[in-house]
Amino acid sequence: MGLFGRRKRLSELHRPERAHATGVVTSPNDLTSPLTGLRAAAFHVALYERYTVDSGGHGESGVVHLDPIGALTFGQAILLVTEDEGLLVEVPLEGARFSFQSADRNAQPLERVPAELAAIAARARGRGLVCFLESPIGHGDRFRLRATLEPRREAGPGGYRSAPGAALVARPDLGPVEMEEILDVPRW
């Protein structure tokens, strides 16, 4: 917050600060999912163990449970352009926390375990079927970002300064990177 309750603009950041932004993914859809073959800029895949518990009722069917096993993000970073100022933000995806609008009940059985997901799938307790929920992060998708953002300085050796033209960089080493999907619902 700035003076008298005015929210600080991202273009006014001069050092790393915790900030919020709404933006659109500008990264190209050049990654292919090892699970579905879909193309997107990145993918978040959550694994669940699905099992049924007897409800104890009279002839009633059991209650289906989905226990989270773990999640993995395919892709290293994405670029967002902020809606209010048009600034390009580089967002490293490793360790980022995601919130998607798709329901867990849409999880599909995992028929083939790609090598990248083998360690997570091995955590299943054996109570039921291992299922996955794949959430593509594609060009044009909208997200609300909460992260510590730092103005991009000239490219140096290593670090997070790899996206040409990015004005800001999310710094996961300085705080959590949280991305919440925003679905645009048509108004008919």
CA–CA gap between residue 42 and residue 93 (Å, rounded): 9
Average pLDDT over residues 23-47: 95
Question: In whole numbers, what is the pLDDT of the chain averaged over residues?
Answer: 86
Is the CB of residue 145 less than 8 Å from the CB of residue 80? yes
Look at residue 187 and tell me whether its pLDDT is greater than 80.
no
User: Rg of the chain's alpha carbons, rounded to an integer?
Assistant: 20
Tell me the per-residue pLDDT of 58-111, one tens digit each, with 9 for 90 and over. Answer: 655 678 888 999 999 999 999 999 999 999 999 999 989 999 887 667 889 999
| Element housing 108 (H / E) | strand 108-109
pLDDT (0 to 100) of residue 155: 47
Tell me the per-residue pLDDT of 145-181, one tens digit each, with 9 for 90 and over. Answer: 999 999 987 544 444 445 567 899 999 999 999 999 9
CA–CA gap between residue 45 and residue 104 (Å, rounded): 11
Q: Which two tokens stand for residue 20?
A: 């919020």
| Element housing 120 (H / E) | helix 118-121
CA torsion sign for 179, 26, 184, 5 is: positive
Nearest residue to 49 via CA among 136, 2, 134, 107: 107
For residue 173, count CB atoms less than 10 angstroms from its CB and return exposed for 0-12, middle for 13-18, buried for 19 or more.
exposed
pLDDT (0 to 100) of residue 107: 87
pLDDT (0 to 100) of residue 142: 95
pTM of the predicted structure, to 2 decimals: 0.81
pLDDT (0 to 100) of residue 106: 81
